[in-house]
Amino acid sequence: MEATLVIIGLNFRTSPVSVRERFWMSDSQRSEALQELIRAEGIDEVMVLATCNRTEFIFWASDPTEGANSVLRFLTHKFNLKLAEWSNFYRLVDDTALLHLFRVATGLDSMVIGESEITGHLLDAWELAKRSGTTGRFLDAVLQKTMAVARRARTETGVSAATVSVPYAAVALSTEIFGSLADRTVLLLGAGKMSELAANYLLNAGARKLTIIDRTTDKARDLAARLGGRSAPFSELLLEVSEADIIVSSTSSPKYILNRSDLDILIPSRQNLPMVIIDVAVPRDVEPTVRSLAGVYLYDMDDLERVVQQNTSERQAANDAAEQILLRELQGFRNRLVSEQVVPTIVALRHRLEEICGQELTSLEDQFGPFTEDQQQALHSLASHITQRIAGTMARELKELPEQAEQEQLTEAVQRLFHLPSARRTPTAQSN
């Protein structure tokens, strides 16, 4: 089986947030995963993309089946993946995987169609893999092309115009409960980009009092200064929660920071005033059972998806135009990528021909030498010319074959005829 691109993952289309949060990975976890997977059977190069809406293992596989099994073993060992949960994951190979990656980078596979944040997440995942030494010629080429395609699709279509964002959805849900947001009290848990976007939407919708809490005090203070709000220490979390009308939580905590037991105590003091909690964190920040408390309206990423989808149907024309660009780019790049796979065989062939010519020149000199310097130079020049002609002709034949199957057959024939090593990774490099 020929080496190719493989993607194994799950996203908001295939699994609810309760499943996605189980397989979310922090930077340190992704670094560890990269080091383990690069040594696994069937995997030559690998990167891991993990966001609130998806976790994907993107790898160049010398053996796609064995590589997929390596990822499955990793998930089973590290995340206690059950057989019944495997249905949440998709396995994409070759052109299907490449097109999926194009769609992810362009924002066509996002909850918010056309959103640009995913491009940054993808670049971060690529950079982490490069720092970890787990990417090479093929994945780097794939990611370079992916970013170029995404730029072209965004530039030439309206796919990113008037994007309905997750922060917008937070405002829409809050408005459903309160009607007007005028003078509502907002509490941000977490001082990241999502919190800032949500705060701007809420303030523009009329909210006035804004408080920010983050475990990093300086981050909370800086964001509060930019937004005209105030920061509070994490030790005052419950006090601030009790006074908030709208809470937007987007921390990176691996555990709940708001529990049912906390709100059981706080809610009576609010005298039946409603509280809207928008939990955009994965893993979730708020215990799901909070939803059953009277007067508490808890929304997580699954709820936000519903609002976003209701407001994106009119953008279908731009999405279709972007899809056509991706499909056109796919075919040309796939042909180039396939041709790249024969490069190691061409290089090995050239070295083999040079070795054969060198042996024959040595034999010729033993029989008929010694030769003058001019004669030796002429003979070596002739041998080099023959090597270049044969290797060049073979390279053109291999690269220009239109069908991948034919290319694979001819490549294998050349390897066998000239006793060349296979272009795949050696067993030593694959072993754990």
What is the reported pTM? 0.71
3-state helix, strand, coil in the chain (%, to 5): 60, 15, 25
* Contact between 206 and 178 (Cβ < 8 Å): no
State whether CATH 1.10.10.10 applies to domain 4-162: no
For residue 73, report the phi and psi dihedrals to the nearest 5 degrees.
-65, -40
> 345 vs 65, which has greater pLDDT?
65
Lowest mean pLDDT segment, chosen from 121-125, 135-139, 281-285, 354-358: 354-358
pLDDT score, position 70 = 95
Instruction: For 236-263, write each residue's pLDDT tens digit.
Output: 999 999 999 999 999 988 899 999 999 9
- Give the DSSP letter of residue 275: E
- Say if residue 344 is preceded by a cis peptide, omega within 30 of 0: no
Reply yes or no on whether the pLDDT at 62 is more than 60: yes
Q: Where are the beta strands (DSSP E) in 104-240?
A: 185-189, 209-213, 230-232
Residue that is written with structure tokens 């993607």 in the block: 7
For residue 58, report the phi and psi dihedrals to the nearest 5 degrees.
-110, 115
User: How far are the Cα atoms of 130, 339, 400, 411 from residue 406, in angstroms, in the given order?
Assistant: 33, 12, 10, 8
Instruction: For 172-228, write each residue's pLDDT tens digit.
Output: 888 889 988 888 999 999 988 888 888 888 888 888 889 999 999 999 999 999 999
Section 110-118 average pLDDT: 80
Reply yes or no on whether the pLDDT at 163 is more than 60: no
For residues 72 and 78, what is the distance between their CA atoms, to the nearest angstrom? 10
Reply yes or no on whether the pLDDT at 380 is more than 50: yes
Reply yes or no on whether the pLDDT at 157 is more than 60: yes
Reply yes or no on whether the pLDDT at 52 is more than 70: yes
For residue 56, report the phi and psi dihedrals to the nearest 5 degrees.
-135, 140
* Helix, strand or coil, per DSSP, at residue 167: helix
CATH classification for the domain delimited by 166-310, as one of 3.40.50.20, 3.40.120.10, 3.40.50.720, 1.10.579.10 = 3.40.50.720
Per-chain mean pLDDT for the chain = 85
What confidence tier does 429 reach under pLDDT thresholds 50, 70, 90? very low
Lowest mean pLDDT segment, chosen from 111-115, 314-318, 354-358, 391-395: 314-318
Reply yes or no on whether the pLDDT at 158 is more than 90: no
Picking from 272, 280, 339, the residue whose alpha carbon sits closest to that of residue 308 is: 280
Residue 146: is it exposed, middle or buried by C-beta count within 10 angstroms (0-12/13-18/19+)? Answer: buried
User: Catalytic one among 5, 52, 207, 275?
Assistant: 52
- Please confirm, yes or no, whether 357 is among the known catalytic residues: no
What confidence tier does 310 reach under pLDDT thresholds 50, 70, 90? low
